Amino acid sequence: MTEPTLTEAPRLPGSVSLSDDALAQLVGHTVLECYGIVGMASRSLVKGVARLLGRESLTQGVDVRREGDRLRIRLYLVLEYGLNLAEVAAAVRTRVAYQVERLTRLAVADVEIHIQGVRRA
pLDDT of 119 over the 60 cut: yes
**Does 20-119 carry CATH code 3.30.70.1350?**
yes
The CB density around residue 115, as the number of other CB atoms within 10 Å, is: 16
Q: Is 111 helix (H, G, I), strand (E, B) or coil?
A: strand
**Mean pLDDT over each residue of the chain, to the nearest integer:** 85
* Separation of alpha carbons 61 and 3, rounded Å: 45
Per-domain boundaries in the chain: 20-119
pLDDT 10s digits, 37-74: 998 887 766 544 455 555 666 788 899 999 988 999 99
pLDDT of 12 over the 50 cut: yes
pLDDT level of residue 114 (50, 70, 90 thresholds): very high
Q: Which of 50-54, 80-84, 94-98, 103-107 has the lowest mean pLDDT?
A: 50-54
> Which backbone phi and psi does 96 adopt, to 5 degrees?
-65, -50
Note the pLDDT of residue 47: 44
Question: Stretch 21-27: mean pLDDT, rounded?
Answer: 93
pLDDT of 75 over the 60 cut: yes
The CB density around residue 6, as the number of other CB atoms within 10 Å, is: 5
DSSP E strands in the chain: the ranges are 37-40, 62-67, 70-80, 107-119
In order of 4, 11, 14, the CA distances from 53 in angstroms are 46, 41, 38
Note the pLDDT of residue 56: 61
Residue pair 107/72 in contact by the 8 Å Cβ criterion: no
